């Protein structure tokens, strides 16, 4: 590999890891925000502020022409991964908390492989199947430790798990579409396009459902808008932009696996910022799940 190629691969890998840390932090911030705003409202607020912030930067540095094909792929990625996927994730986040919601996301690569077996006829190696079993075991070990025995609390947690799984499917599809669309587009431009489409999708959904005003009402409070600004800044420039940068310079599989280390980053953040009690079982389970994802992609 040439020196420039090695440099970009290193930068891409570093960006994916930093993106994971950013997702962990933004999940903590959005969890706090969710005490005042609905999941759809949080997502719409994120998309509006994100589009404005990214648009302002692009006005200054300029934007190159985007091929229609890439624009459509990035747009569809925004609708699936941001408008729908992130709304489902925020719903799961409020039920499960950031630690469990991010850990559940480690199942994303597992579902991708299983779907490839069913629909594409792929035959994963023994090592890949070991990774699948390891990831599922790690996630389940932590998830079921946190599911209460009481019927009401149990139902609440299971609902969060359901929405979390649905968000995984949407985000997986969004990642594939984004990988295709960002091929000839800068990471910044690609992120802007995805946010525009995500915002448009949520505005249309809110208008047709008659809930748009209710979604935006909580952001009239100054403290709430400050918290939203902090969460959006971390999510956009830490999570979305760095991950698209990583997708542009390294393989999807490598970018995804590094990005799936977010559960490890969220453990200390949840302990210090949310005062959550982190059991040894949670730490070991998260490490097992992440190691399973590693096995899945090195087979």
Residue 271, phi then psi, degrees to nearest 5? -65, -45
- CB atoms near residue 273 (< 10 Å): 15
pLDDT at 44 over 90: yes
Using an 8 Å Cβ cutoff, are 252 and 175 in contact? yes
Give the Cα separation of 239 and 265 in Å (integer): 13
Mean pLDDT of 190-209: 95
Q: What is the 3-state secondary structure (H, E, C) of 234-250?
A: HHHHHHHHHHHHHHHHC
Using an 8 Å Cβ cutoff, are 128 and 65 in contact? no
The residue with greater pLDDT, 96 or 124, is: 96
Give the Cα separation of 137 and 33 in Å (integer): 31
Q: Is 78 left (phi over 0), alpha (psi -120 to 50) or beta?
A: alpha
Distance of CA 39 to the CA centre of its chain: 14
**Using 50, 70 and 90 to split pLDDT, how confident is the model at 25?**
very high
pLDDT value of residue 33 = 92
Give the Cα separation of 211 and 117 in Å (integer): 40
**Using 50, 70 and 90 to split pLDDT, how confident is the model at 134?**
confident
pLDDT, one tens digit per residue, over 106-123 is 777 777 667 666 765 667
- For the chain, the structural domain boundaries read 3-298
pLDDT value of residue 249 = 82
pLDDT, one tens digit per residue, over 32-42 is 999 899 999 99
pLDDT at 151 over 60: no
Which pTM does this prediction carry? Answer: 0.81
pLDDT at 137 over 70: yes
pLDDT value of residue 231 = 92
What is the CB-side half-sphere exposure of residue 243 using CA atoms within 13 A? 28
The residue with greater pLDDT, 112 or 44, is: 44
Give the Cα separation of 114 and 5 in Å (integer): 32
pLDDT, one tens digit per residue, over 205-259 is 999 999 999 999 999 899 999 999 999 899 888 888 898 888 888 777 677 777 7
Among 25-29, 64-68, 201-205, which range has the highest average pLDDT? 201-205
Give the Cα separation of 235 and 171 in Å (integer): 15
Give the Cα separation of 174 and 18 in Å (integer): 20
Burial zone of 217 (CB within 10 Å; 0-12 exposed, 13-18 middle, 19+ buried): middle
pLDDT, one tens digit per residue, over 262-298 is 888 888 888 888 887 888 888 888 888 888 877 766 6
What count of residues does the chain have?
299
Kindly state the tokens that stand for 202: 């949520």
217 DSSP 8-state letter: G
pLDDT value of residue 263 = 81
The residue with greater pLDDT, 57 or 254, is: 57
List the alpha helices (DSSP H) in the chain.
3-33, 39-61, 68-77, 85-104, 108-120, 126-146, 151-181, 187-209, 212-216, 222-233, 241-249, 252-259, 262-273, 280-298
The residue with greater pLDDT, 160 or 157, is: 160
pLDDT value of residue 183 = 79
Mean pLDDT of 30-55: 92
């Amino acid at each position: 590999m040439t020196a420039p190629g090695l440099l970009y691969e290193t930068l891409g890998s570093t960006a994916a890891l930093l993106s994971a840390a950013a997702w962990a932090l933004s999940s903590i911030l959005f969890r706090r925000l969710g005490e005042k705003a609905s999941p759809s409202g949080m997502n719409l607020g994120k998309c509006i502020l994100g589009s404005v912030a990214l648009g302002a930067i692009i006005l200054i540095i300029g934007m190159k022409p985007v091929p229609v094909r890439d624009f459509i792929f990035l747009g569809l990625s925004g609708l699936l991964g941001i408008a729908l996927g992130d709304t489902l994730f925020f719903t799961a986040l409020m039920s499960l908390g950031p630690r469990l919601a991010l850990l559940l996301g480690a199942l994303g690569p597992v579902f991708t492989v299983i779907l490839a077996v069913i629909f594409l006829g792929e035959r994963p190696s023994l090592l890949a199947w070991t990774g699948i079993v390891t990831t599922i075991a790690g996630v389940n070990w932590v998830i079921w430790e946190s599911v209460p025995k009481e019927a009401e609390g149990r139902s609440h947690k299971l609902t969060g798990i359901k929405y979390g799984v649905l968000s995984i499917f949407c985000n997986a599809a969004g990642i594939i579409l984004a990988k295709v669309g960002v091929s000839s587009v800068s990471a910044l431009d690609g992120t802007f396009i995805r946010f525009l489409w995500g915002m448009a999708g949520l505005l249309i959904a809110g208008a047709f459902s008659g809930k748009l005003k209710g979604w935006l009402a909580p952001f009239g409070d100054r403290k709430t808008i400050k918290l939203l600004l902090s969460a959006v800044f971390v999510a956009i420039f830490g999570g979305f932009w760095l991950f698209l940068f990583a997708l542009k310079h390294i393989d999807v599989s490598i970018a995804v696996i590094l990005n799936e280390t977010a559960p490890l980053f969220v453990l200390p953040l949840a302990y210090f910022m949310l005062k959550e009690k982190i059991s040894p079982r949670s730490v070991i389970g998260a490490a097992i799940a992440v190691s399973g994802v590693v096995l899945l992609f090195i087979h």
